Amino acid sequence: MRPKIKISDYSYILPEERIAKYPLECRDASKLLLYKDGMVKEERFTSLPSLLPKGSLMVFNETKVVPARLFFRKSTGAKIEIFCLEPVEPKDYQLAFASTRTCKWNVVIGNAKRWREGEIEFFCDQSHTEAKKLNLRASIVTKEENNGSVVSFTWDGGATFSEVLEICGRIPIPPYLKRDTETLDIERYQTLYARIKGSVAAPTAGLHFTDRVLQEIDKSGITRDTVCLHVGAGTFVPVKSEYIEGHKMHTEPFTVTKGFIANYLNRPKEGKLIAVGTTSMRTLESLYYIGVHIIRNGQPGAVEQWEPYDADCDISSEEAMRAIYNYLEDRNMDAITARTAIIIAPSYKFRMVDILVTNFHQPQSTLLLLISAFVGDDWREIYRFAMDNGFRFLSYGDSSLLYRRDGVK
């Protein structure tokens, strides 16, 4: 049954000065809030490896943020921002980034009223010689009032679109930081283990990890593995409806390898599944439903927003993962790729994740609903403790280690 949740019930006062506008000088210097067995305490992030149960499988999202913001100028002088969301032609991310001379993307257009038709040129000053050589242009293919516009990009030379973005684009930092992208964001709004280009927002729970912390995790008897979910612009979209049922989640693509499935199936029975970040959690919980689709329909399909609530399912996580592994094995495939719009909110039945590493999220957001689903009403005590003890909030803020509350399935 779909939850009847009033979004205003999941709010708290977040003073502007508690939002971390910049990262700390050292990634792992942040505080860590530990929630376990109903108790809340303060730790340091460098203590994380010692706080994890041995034999666990820890899962990181290895997506990489792309410089997806491009600024153009019309012949009239009007400036137009194009925010690239996902590729349309070619549709595959790797092929789109490897494109030379032209490609089409689904975008959001800033100052859209000033650009209804015609070709526009990339805006740069005379000193930006690399950008000028590319002669980047954009033209509208289809245009929507809100999201969903498609733009065709063309450029000169043999550069790939990935190289075009690196030369011309800007990293899209969250709007609540209320500042322009700066040089430090190029490195710091990216995890150390980011590998596969495609996101327009960072999986920020991973921003705290350093080589030192990762090495200590390896020494602690924890197995590390990765999934990839490309974070879309929907992560910045506020909930505007009074009840959560009126909010539409954006779909996002994710990929999980057969090697990961094998690691999951072969982990010790007492081993816990640890998600680093809400994007990893959404990927892992969606993966369960992909397994259910294969068992029931023979095909992976996409995970719909309310699917977990609309029908009960007695298939175990082991059965679901085994179905995916066999599906890949039978087809000689190395990975499974699908799309998900899953929403995790109170009353959600967790199928996969036992422990979550995450930052502190905005009031009245779908991410705060996810936290509430994971720890129940204790989210209020967790956030009250963080506020009372000087924790920094949101993307560049401090971290938390949350054990799923007993009774939350």
C-alpha span between 102 and 90 (Å, rounded)? 10
Length of the chain: 409
- Which residue, 11, 8, 4, 2, is CA-closest to 362? 11
Range in 53-67, 135-149, 216-230 with the lowest mean pLDDT: 135-149
The answer to whether 168 touches 124, Cβ cutoff 8 Å, is yes
Give, in degrees to the nearest 5, the angle at Cα 282 between 278 and 284: 115
Q: 296 — alpha (psi -120 to 50), left (phi > 0) or beta?
A: alpha
Please report, for residues 48, 171, 329, the alpha-carbon distance to residue 100 in angstroms, rounded to integers and kept in the order given: 44, 21, 34
The amino acid at residue 115 is: W
| Domains annotated on the chain, with CATH | 7-65+189-403 (3.40.1780.10), 69-169 (no CATH)
Q: Helix, strand, or coil here: 91?
A: coil
- 100 pLDDT above the threshold of 70: yes
Bridge partner list, 69: 83, 170
- Which residue, 309, 284, 278, is CA-closest to 227? 284
What's the burial of 30, exposed, middle or buried (CB within 10 Å: 0-12/13-18/19+)?
buried
Supply the pLDDT for residue 269: 87
Whole-number percent of the chain with pLDDT over 70: 97
Rg (CA), the chain: 22
Supply the pLDDT for residue 125: 65
Beta strands in 277-360 (DSSP E): 335-340, 355-359
**Residues contacting 266, CB < 8 A, separation 6+:** none
What is the per-residue pLDDT across 253-303, written as a single tens digit (0 to 9) for each? 999 999 999 999 999 988 999 999 999 999 999 999 999 999 999 999 999
Q: What are the structure tokens assigned to 191, written together?
A: 């995890």
Tell me the pLDDT band of 75, cut-offs 50, 70 and 90: confident
Phi, psi of 406 (to 5 degrees): -55, 135
What is the per-residue pLDDT across 122-145, written as a single tens digit (0 to 9) for each? 987 655 788 888 999 999 999 876
Whole-number percent of the chain with pLDDT over 90: 87
C-alpha span between 289 and 285 (Å, rounded)? 7
Beta strands in 160-319 (DSSP E): 196-199, 223-229, 252-257, 273-276
CA 301 to chain centre: 20
Q: What are the structure tokens assigned to 63, written together?
A: 């997506």
CA 40 to chain centre: 26
